[in-house]
Amino acid sequence: MNEKNHKKKKTLSVVIPCYNEEATLAECVNRVLAISDENLSLEIIIVDDASRDRSLLHARELQADHPEIIVLKHHQNQGKGAALRTGFARATGDYVVVQDADLEYDAKDLKRLIAPLIQDRADVVLGSRFLSPGAHRVFHFWHYMGNRFLTFLSNMFTDLNLTDMEACYKAFKRNIIQGIDIKENRFGFEPEIVAKIAHQRLRIYEMGITYYGRTYAEGKKIGMKDGLRAVYCVFRYNAHKAPVPIQFFIYLMIGGLAAMANLSIFLMLLHSSLSVDVAAPIAYVTAAGFNYLVCILLLFRHKARWSSATEIIVYILVVAAVGVIDLAITKSLFFLGTSPPLCKLTASLSVLALNFLGRRFLVFPEPSSGPWRPPQALSADE
């Protein structure tokens, strides 16, 4: 980028999701307004997520006083992710950042956060509460450990080395964030967006930020339910792009559950006086249906290559082929005098690898994310 483009005034779109933040919204917005200067103009987009207090009223008052403020409203509460999705779609600035409506983060950090974007060294810059030498309010040990666990889990799947996946401050080139289809409505936005920028092989930077955390009594909203959802999101948005060994490890867990279902149904039908020739196929097909649903829920991407109908047909063919092998092993062991539970368990374990390979390479074929993009691959105006 030449010197002239460096000096050209940039516009930063600051998206502020807001839900019941009447006590802090005005101060938060004023702190953001204070960072504008001769080189940086602002577009502040407040998305009120159907607040039940006077947050929307305060937002309207701020809008009346400052032409750079845009207020959007949800008629029903949908969550932080949904509010961000609405705000990102409305943004027109060169860069887009996320700013919570509370006072946990210092808006002064935003100018440092977007510097690598302006210099065209990065496509995305993520804040970290654990890298900054600045002030940090000391909080609960188990919250800290939970955050570390989620970040570690995310890193394992994305192959990034982030220190704080869950931090609010995330800055993007506008074309990057507007090109991402955000699905999560609540706090699952954080692991989802990290997964999707990792899959695009963008130039990602991380930078220390100051953090003034608040307690639940002071209005903090994230809880245990959101933590469990975050674990699910790490699997949901990463597993289909994960390396084959990691996918196989996940499939072992899914396959293990399916094998237990297979065995239980088989024994139940056998005790109902059905023959092995009937009980084994019924148990196998039922477990295969369970396996399919869990696979598209946690591991593979639905319709990665095929339409829904074709995907199901291919899946049935794979299940049928492996099912023949499963039945052959089960009958062979049964007629050799092996106990029914051991027959079925041995057969299920024997076809586990075949099941995985068939699903991974035939039913849900997914190309890898490809190599990391070199710095020159994306221009500032791309």
> Which of 211, 238, 265 finishes a domain?
238
Query: Does residue 27 sit in the same domain as residue 150?
Result: yes
> Whole-angstrom Cα distance, residue 315 to residue 321?
10
Query: Does residue 185 sit in the same domain as residue 285?
Result: no
- Residue 31's pLDDT is 97
How crowded is the C-beta side of 184, counted as CA atoms within 13 Å?
Answer: 22
> Which of 180, 214, 238 finishes a domain?
238
pTM exceeds cut of 0.85: no
At which residue do the structure tokens 């959802």 appear?
Answer: 229
309 vs 381: which has the higher pLDDT: 309
Taking 60 as the threshold, does the pLDDT of residue 375 lie above it?
no
φ/ψ of 134, rounded to 5, equals -75, -175
> Whole-angstrom Cα distance, residue 148 to residue 154?
10
For residue 327, what pLDDT band results from cuts at 50, 70 and 90?
A: confident
Q: Which of 370, 378, 372, 371 is nearest to 121 (CA)?
A: 378
Q: What is the CATH number of the domain that holds 186?
A: 3.90.550.10
Query: Does residue 50 sit in the same domain as residue 139?
Result: yes
Query: Does residue 98 sit in the same domain as residue 222?
Result: yes
One-letter amino acid of 336: L
- Residue 379's pLDDT is 40
Dihedral over Cα of 352, 355, 359, 362: its sign: positive
**Alpha carbon distances (Å) from 304 to 232, 275, 282, 357:** 19, 38, 28, 15
- At residue 207, the 3 state secondary structure works out as strand
The answer to whether residue 15 is domain-embedded is: yes
- At residue 234, the 3 state secondary structure works out as helix
Reported as a single tens digit per residue, the pLDDT across 199-253 is 998 999 999 999 886 555 555 556 678 788 999 999 999 999 888 888 899 998 8
Dihedral over Cα of 68, 73, 78, 79: its sign: positive
Query: Does residue 154 sit in the same domain as residue 185?
Result: yes
The answer to whether residue 107 is domain-embedded is: yes
Q: Which of 157, 75, 169 is nearest to 117 (CA)?
A: 169
Query: Does residue 115 sit in the same domain as residue 157?
Result: yes
User: Would you tell me the crossing angle of helices 340-350 and 276-294 to the nearest 10 degrees?
Assistant: 40
> Whole-angstrom Cα distance, residue 276 to residue 280?
6
230 burial type by CB count under 10 A (0-12 exposed, 13-18 middle, 19+ buried): buried
- Residue 220's pLDDT is 55
- The domain tally of the chain equals 2
Beta bridge partners of 334: none
The radius of gyration of the chain from alpha carbons, rounded to an integer in Å, stands at 26
Q: Which domain holds residue 75?
A: 3-238
The answer to whether residue 72 is domain-embedded is: yes
- Residue 142's pLDDT is 77
Query: Does residue 223 sit in the same domain as residue 253?
Result: no
The answer to whether residue 373 is domain-embedded is: no
- Residue 378's pLDDT is 42
Query: Does residue 198 sit in the same domain as residue 61?
Result: yes
> Whole-angstrom Cα distance, residue 309 to residue 225?
34
3 burial type by CB count under 10 A (0-12 exposed, 13-18 middle, 19+ buried): exposed
The answer to whether residue 146 is domain-embedded is: yes
> Whole-angstrom Cα distance, residue 189 to residue 191?
6
Average pLDDT over residues 280-296: 89
Taking 70 as the threshold, does the pLDDT of residue 6 lie above it?
no
The answer to whether residue 374 is domain-embedded is: no
Average pLDDT over residues 176-191: 94
Average pLDDT over residues 69-83: 96
The answer to whether residue 368 is domain-embedded is: no
The answer to whether residue 282 is domain-embedded is: yes
> Which of 192, 210, 238 finishes a domain?
238
Q: Which of 230, 143, 240, 145 is nearest to 192 (CA)?
A: 230
Question: Is residue 330 within 8 Å of 343, Cβ to Cβ?
Answer: yes
Q: To the nearest 10°, report the CA torsion of 82, 86, 88, 89.
A: 140
Query: Does residue 123 sit in the same domain as residue 268?
Result: no
Take residue 189 and report the two structure tokens written for it: 């936005």
Take residue 71 and report the two structure tokens written for it: 């207020």
Query: Does residue 234 sit in the same domain as residue 277?
Result: no
> Whole-angstrom Cα distance, residue 284 to residue 281?
5
Q: Are strands 170-173 and 124-128 parallel, antiparallel or unpaired?
A: antiparallel
Question: Is residue 33 within 8 Å of 110, Cβ to Cβ?
Answer: no
Query: Does residue 230 sit in the same domain as residue 256?
Result: no
Query: Does residue 190 sit in the same domain as residue 225?
Result: yes
Question: Is residue 298 within 8 Å of 311, Cβ to Cβ?
Answer: no
